[in-house]
Structure 1
Amino acid sequence: MSTPEPVTFVYKTFTNVDGEETSIPVDVYLPATEGSEPITPVIWVHTGGFLQGTRKFVPPHFLRALERHKLALIAPDFRLCPQVTIREVLVDVVDCVRWTLDETVRASSGLKSTQLSTSRYVLGGSSAGGWPALLLGLGLHDLAITLPQPPIAVFSIYAITTVTRDLAPFFYETQKPLAWAVDGKPIKREPLEEEGHMQKCLDDKHNLIKASSPSSVKIRTEAPPASNPVRAALYNFARQEACFPDLILADPAEAPSVCTPTLIRTKMRVRTSTSHVSVLICYGDSDPKVPHSQSVHVVEALKSVGYTGDDLLVLEEKGADHLFDMEPTSEIEGMWEWVASKI
């Protein structure tokens, strides 16, 4: 079976610190053969702790599933923290959903295919990317009302879901050295600061801080680890120094507003047979980078509001570490069959 190749489009632009408009790209993967029914888009938010990464780092099993189940993969980049905050990431994900479902807007960007459904989509993400999928897809965040419509299903894979002290104390505990450090050496702050990776471009009210010079740090939308080796250490540095919440929030007081488990319990009504979006939660139980308690808290919260049976599929991979499904031959057993069953 051939692997689909991506075609890149621009789904939005934003004003950067220098006053210039910056484009944000999205990769679209379509199955090689089209069926008689419109193709359901799967909008996927990539890994990297919101601090680094790229839309191009797609789990191989995603691409194999496209042809098998006649799905399209929509993989956007987004503005990266700490230059912005999680709120701006959520805005970008909403804008990508809007772009995906609006055939006219898509066509103006160059995506001429009329086979892509405009009436349904799946929203998912891996690692940090699973967080906006849950916050928006389940209607938990105030920005969820700006979605053109809810997704038919949501999935999160080894996701970060909260940075509150009670549910995620490990984000506030220094680790020197990190438990997963290969060489046992601490990550130095100086290279990160010298290249501007720690600098914020928004004030605590989310307003843009205009550049003071041509060399000022700009907001980035992509940071592949291979070509950005210094920035690639930013998440690990944040865990080492217990400063991850500071890098993704404008103010620590914002943490409860993006706490997925608590928001599920406080904002979602007890579900009925026809209410709420179906959810898939997948995680490895040996993940030091994003402890699986992040997913377990969400599962427990969903069950507390009535999620049961096929509308909540929990897949625990025994002994699996972070990014376990990025291996070339890895599959998440039952995941894509479940997604296809929701279409």
Structure 2
Amino acid sequence: MGRRSTKPALLQKTTQVFAVHQIPLECDVYSADDYPADAPVFLFFHSGGLVCGAREAVPPWLVQTCYRRKWPLISASYRLLPQADGPALYDDAKAAFGFSQTLGGHVRRVIAGGASAGFFLATLLAHYETPKPIALLSITGIPTFRHPFFNSSKLIPPDPITEDEIEPFVAEPVSVGKSVANTLDVFDIDKLRPDGARNPIYKPTALPSRLDQNSTRGLLYDYYLYNNMYCDLAGTVDPGFLWPREFKVPSQWPVTIFIQGDQDVDVSPRVSIDVAAKLGQTAVYCEAKGQEHLFESRSFLDSTDMNQNEGNPMAAVVRAIEALDKAVGASPES
């Protein structure tokens, strides 16, 4: 009798429409044929200040983490500010959550996470949905805009962005984020070997000569941040976390894991630190010393990255993955 092969199934990417809210909303599903039908799903929302970015921008280490655990990974698009508002963002997140809960016709538990402002959508699911996500993962994320940082007239570029500079973007029709193929932040399955390890011989095709929308539409983030407009843009759908001192964290609030660089100027570390303090034992805060915003966005879980030395930028990511395993009750496939 022949030996059964233990070779893992190949990672595949499919694109599906999960909702139509004014425009079709698509998601990319990363999965393989040998994933269990009851495996939890990781629902990811991309970075971009809610004004740009694209679902194709998924950190390689997150893809590896899900692949090794046989978790389907869904990266969902959502409508962008200012054409969308806070309730519209929640509607998009809710639709992506519902799609994830029934992926493949099976009842699924869902982990929700996001990078930068994408994490805001994940927190809305924890605030309003029942059942809630089983865990939340913030990747240098924004859990709320109701924090002093977003009312501090923070100036990131050398000079304030003018209204004339953003007017073309404000006049655009409703849209989702778009990404130019082969830019460095776009995840390509060929970046991984069939066993899920980093492909050392991967080479992208020639990078496009034109700028993608994110290099210009991202000015909206600088403008809204400096003019303290994010609270109004998000609206009442964002309840915030600066609760009264006697407020107790809801018993059903999921374990919330924060990955945060302590030198982040785009989103002050105080935002995550203060929310983690309010969540108490429900929160796990993983700080990366000397690291900036989205420091891990192009990193892999190779042998160097797995080094737990505090001098390694990915040590915080590894600690966060361990906390996520504990919260979900999972372990990587050997």
Name the CA shift for 1:302/1:78 in 2 (closer, same or farther; >3 Å): same
CA 1:120/1:234 → structure 2, altered by over 3 Å: closer, same or farther?
Answer: same
Residue 260 in structure 1 maps to residue 240 in structure 2: yes
One-letter amino acid of the structure 1 residue matched with residue 164 of structure 2:
E
The residue number in structure 2 matching 1:205 is none
- How many residue pairs match? The answer is 276
Partner residue of 2:261 out of 277, 284, 296: 284
Alignment of 1:147-296 (within 5 A): 147=130, 149-164=131-146, 167-173=147-153, 175=155, 178=156, 181=157, 184=158, 186-193=160-167, 195=168, 197-199=169-171, 217-224=172-179, 226-228=211-213, 229-246=215-232, 248-249=233-234, 254=236, 258-262=238-242, 268-269=248-249, 271=251, 275-296=252-273
CA distance in 2, matches of 1:238, 1:43: 27
Instruction: Please say if residues 49 and 218 of structure 2, whose CA atoms lie closer than 8 Å, have aligned partners that are also in contact.
Output: no
Of 300, 325, 328, which residue of structure 1 is paired with 2:277? 300
How far apart are residue 314 of structure 1 and its match? 1.5
After superposition, what is the alpha-carbon deviation per residue over 1:135-154, rounded to whole angstroms, capped at 9, x for unaligned?
322xx3xxx14x5x222111
Change (3 A) 1:2 1:286: farther
| Structure 1 unaligned regions, length at least 5 | 16-21, 104-112, 200-216
Q: Secondary structure at the match of 2:242?
A: helix
SS of the residue aligned with 2:72? strand
> Please, which runs of 5 or more residues in structure 2 have no aligned partner?
1-7, 181-210, 306-313, 330-334
Please tell me whether the aligned partners of residues 4 and 63 of structure 1 are also in contact (alpha carbons under 8 angstroms): no
Q: Which amino acid aligns with 1:25?
A: E
Q: Which residue of 2 aligns with 1:120?
A: 109
Aligned CA-pair RMSD? 2.7
Evaluate the alpha carbon distance shift between residue 38 and residue 277 of structure 1 in structure 2; reply closer, same or farther with a 3 A threshold: same
Q: Quick one: structure 1 residues 3 and 102, their matched pair in 2 at CA, closer, same or farther if it must change by over 3 Å? A: closer
Q: Which residue number corresponds to residue 47 of structure 1? A: 47
Q: Is the 8 A contact 2:149 2:268 kept in 1?
A: no
State the one-letter code of the partner of 2:242.
T
Going from structure 1 to structure 2, the CA distance change for 1:218 and 1:328 (only over 3 Å counts) comes to: same
Residue identity in the other structure for 1:338? A
Give the % identical residues.
22
Aligned match for 1:9, one of 5, 8, 16: 16
1:21-60 equivalence runs, <5 A: 22-30=23-31, 32=32, 34-36=34-36, 38-60=38-60
The CA deviation string for residues 258-282 of structure 1, in whole angstroms up to 9 with x for no partner, is 14312596875564xxx54222122
**Per-residue Cα deviation, 1:316-339 (whole angstroms, up to 9, x for no partner):** 111110011113336411223332
- Tell me the alpha carbon deviations over residues 275-312 of structure 1, each in whole angstroms, 9 at most, x when there is no partner: 54222122111111100111011111111xxx2xxx53
CA 121–264 in structure 1, closer or farther in 2 if over 3 Å, else same: farther
Structure 1 Cα separation of the partners of residues 102 and 323 of structure 2: 26
